[in-house]
């Protein structure tokens, strides 16, 4: 099967299954609303829903390393580099509870965006100061409730795979809320689905590597800018390294 035909099949399958999965998500939300304020059960179903697309694609081998470093009983600001649209799918393979911070346009996608709203994920309108302030406030609330936050500090996907400068929001949250930072390094997703276009490329190894979390005590004395640069340097030291063989889940 050619790349174009395979891509059409993949995106058609994603669209159809999303229309099937969203009503299931809606039922889960209604049933669990009385006792699951953080929407943990719904997020776990969303992890399954998103992971299905990489589990069933025979040409993508996703290897997850270090998942155990993100402890279920600890709240984090989780930060990842951003290479491809696929990053969102493979990060769900962590199967850890978090609230996404995502551009507001994603919330308008039928079924998928509706489910993001249902999960209480956090929208952001780029370049809008009021939206940034609302986003930070919603993140503060989520962290206070015990939900981790997932962010791409680069803000958008890299054009050429080179790590871009980090925005400070994630690190401001970690400092002000006194929570740990969990860095996650992604590799291979840009090869499987480049930023330009929607044609998938076959037979690629995708790595999701959780680095050692940074305890709040280790950076409590830093300024936001110092912490931003510190974590950026940490990513720079790892992004060129091929991922070790991890758990294929």
What CATH number should be reported for the domain holding residue 50?
3.40.1130
Is there a domain that residue 173 lies in? yes
Q: Residue 2's pLDDT band (boundaries 50, 70, 90)?
A: low
Is there a domain that residue 189 lies in? yes
E strand intervals along the chain: 60-65, 76-80, 98-103, 122-124, 148-151, 180-187, 204-210
Count of the separate structural domains present in the chain: 1
pTM: 0.92
Is there a domain that residue 244 lies in? no
Reply yes or no on whether the pLDDT at 246 is more than 50. Answer: no
- Rounded mean pLDDT of 86-95? 96
Secondary structure tally for the chain: helices H, strands E: 9, 7
Is there a domain that residue 241 lies in? no
- Rounded mean pLDDT of 11-39? 97
pLDDT of residue 108: 95
Is there a domain that residue 133 lies in? yes
Reply yes or no on whether the pLDDT at 32 is more than 90. Answer: yes
Q: Domain containing 214: what range?
A: 3-236
């Amino acid at each position: 099967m050619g790349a174009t035909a395979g891509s059409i099949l993949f995106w058609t399958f994603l669209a159809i299954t999303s229309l099937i999965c969203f009503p299931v998500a809606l039922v889960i939300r209604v049933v669990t609303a009385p006792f699951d304020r953080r929407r943990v059960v719904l997020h776990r179903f969303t992890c399954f829903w998103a992971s299905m697309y990489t589990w069933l694609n025979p040409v993508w081998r996703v290897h997850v390393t270090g998942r155990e470093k993100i402890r279920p009983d600890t709240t984090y600001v989780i930060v990842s580099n951003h290479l491809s649209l696929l990053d969102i799918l493979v990060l769900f393979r962590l199967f850890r509870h978090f609230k996404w911070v995502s551009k507001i346009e994603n919330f308008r996608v039928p079924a998928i965006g509706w489910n993001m709203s249902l999960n209480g994920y956090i929208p952001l309108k780029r370049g809008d100061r009021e939206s940034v302030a609302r986003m930070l406030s919603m993140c503060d609330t989520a962290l206070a409730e015990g939900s981790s936050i997932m962010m791409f500090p680069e803000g958008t996907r890299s054009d050429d795979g080179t790590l871009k400068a980090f925005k400070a929001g994630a690190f401001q949250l970690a400092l002000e809320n006194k929570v740990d930072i969990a860095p996650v390094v992604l590799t291979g997703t840009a090869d499987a689905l480049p930023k330009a276009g929607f044609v998938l490329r076959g037979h690629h190894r995708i790595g999701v590597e959780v680095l050692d979390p940074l305890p709040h005590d280790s950076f409590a004395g830093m300024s936001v800018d110092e912490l931003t640069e510190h974590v950026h340097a940490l990513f720079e030291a790892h992004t060129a390294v091929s991922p070790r063989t991890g758990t294929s889940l």
